[in-house]
Structure 1
Amino acid sequence: MSILVLYGSYRSDRIGIRLATYLVDRFRARGEDAELIDAKFVDLPMLDRMYKEYPPGTAPASMQKLADQITAADAFVFVTGEYNWGPQPGLKNLTDHFLEHWFWRPAAIASYSAGRLGGAHAAAAWHPILSEMGMVVISSTLTVGPIGETLAADGTPTGHGGETLDRAFTRFADDLAWWSEAARIQRAKRPPPY
């Protein structure tokens, strides 16, 4: 399974990268092809034109590369912090540059915060956004908080929170794998309706 783990903080002290790193490492340990897509380093401009609005061959190179990566992926994991009960603008901006590229594949949401709610409000905000963009959002979610007590700087789980995260990850990954396989089989059997 090819998984893109998408992360969107642009802050200088980015603690959520710990969760993105953890997820990539854990998916790879399961034998999956997981890759981190970091919005800050992809560095797309604020949305002016969607990828599909560029004449063929004229989109910026970073946008073209990401379009190809999204098209090739089996599943997506959106790693989001919570900004005023909502999603991070960097991740939302990256996501909005594409539309049809996301269709007919599953998405999962992993959220975090410095507090005990673990970014649950941002996770709830992402669900209808991803559904509207043509993805099937799996029911399993990960909420990590306080993230500083759950994951070390290198993404290694720590303490009771880290143990809880490890237990929750198994179901999360199994759920995503099931939907990814189901979508892949169905796409091969019959083209999507639009």
Structure 2
Amino acid sequence: MLDLLVFYGSYRRDRLGIRLADYLVRNLGERGHKAELIDARAVGLPMLDRMYKEYAPGEAPPEMERLAQRIREADGFVFVAGEYNWGPQPGLKNLTDHFLEEWFWRPAAIASYSFGRIAGARSNFAWHGTLSEMGMIVVSSTITVGPIKDTLDEEGHAIGDAGKSLDRSFPRFAADLEYWAEAGKRQRAERDPPY
């Protein structure tokens, strides 16, 4: 069993991407993993002023301290990347930027979405470089969902032909993340990271 965190970053009132986040949490759970949704809006970190590492031990805000601990415990991450004006969601970017070393030496997978047919592909591409720079290994398999309203219902269940396509692509996406998360977990158990 792997401990996987699924990060979602929309602050909008009528959020559609939460459907994809729910789909991923449920389907990773069905594969026998502990999968937990980390919703940036629910965590409620402020706009970045000080990173977690910039606080003296024990002085970080409680929600930041809790999340830092969960990130350190996790075996891998999934980032649900909505596309806003050709770029990443500011809420998700703000959440991730509060941390740095906590992300190191774990794999990340990207699942993107949009209201239209581009399916968040531009945000997906932008996230790859960002996550790599933050010390994560980004797996090659990815998921792009769009139009999201034609792919997932309000509970995050696949619908229609687009949903069938998502269901077909999910196993490879999950297997890629599992492979690297299992390898990293074994490596971390055997020796400390080089820095």
Same fold per superposition (TM over 0.5): yes
TM-score of the two chains, using structure 1 as the length reference: 0.99
Compute the RMSD of aligned alpha carbons.
0.5
Write the distance in 1 (CA, Å) between the matches of 2:150 and 2:11.
21
Per-residue CA distance 1:6-53 (angstroms, 9 max, x = gap): 000001110000000000000011110000000001000100000011
Write the distance in 2 (CA, Å) between the matches of 1:37 and 1:62.
12
The 3-state SS of whatever aligns with 1:82 is strand
Aligned to 1:115: 116
Which amino acid is 2:86 matched to? W
Q: Residues 83-122 of structure 1 correspond to what in structure 2 (within 5 A)?
A: 83-122=84-123
Per-residue CA distance 1:113-147 (angstroms, 9 max, x = gap): 01111000000000010000000000000000000
Which amino acid is 1:178 matched to? Y
Write the distance in 2 (CA, Å) between the matches of 1:191 and 1:65.
23
Q: What's the offset of the Cα at 1:107?
A: 0.1
Write the distance in 2 (CA, Å) between the matches of 1:38 and 1:97.
14
Q: What's the offset of the Cα at 1:190?
A: 2.2
Aligned to 2:66: 65
Write the distance in 1 (CA, Å) between the matches of 2:57 and 2:151.
45
Q: What's the offset of the Cα at 1:187?
A: 1.5
Aligned to 2:78: 77
Aligned to 2:57: 56
Q: What's the offset of the Cα at 1:189?
A: 2.1
Q: What's the offset of the Cα at 1:162?
A: 0.5
The 3-state SS of whatever aligns with 2:140 is strand
Aligned to 1:164: 165
Aligned to 2:128: 127
Number of residue pairs aligned between Structure 1 and Structure 2: 194
More divergent stretch after superposition (172-181 vs 184-193): 184-193
Q: What's the offset of the Cα at 1:80?
A: 1.1
TM-score of the two chains, using structure 2 as the length reference: 0.99
Identity of aligned residues (%): 66
Aligned to 2:30: 29
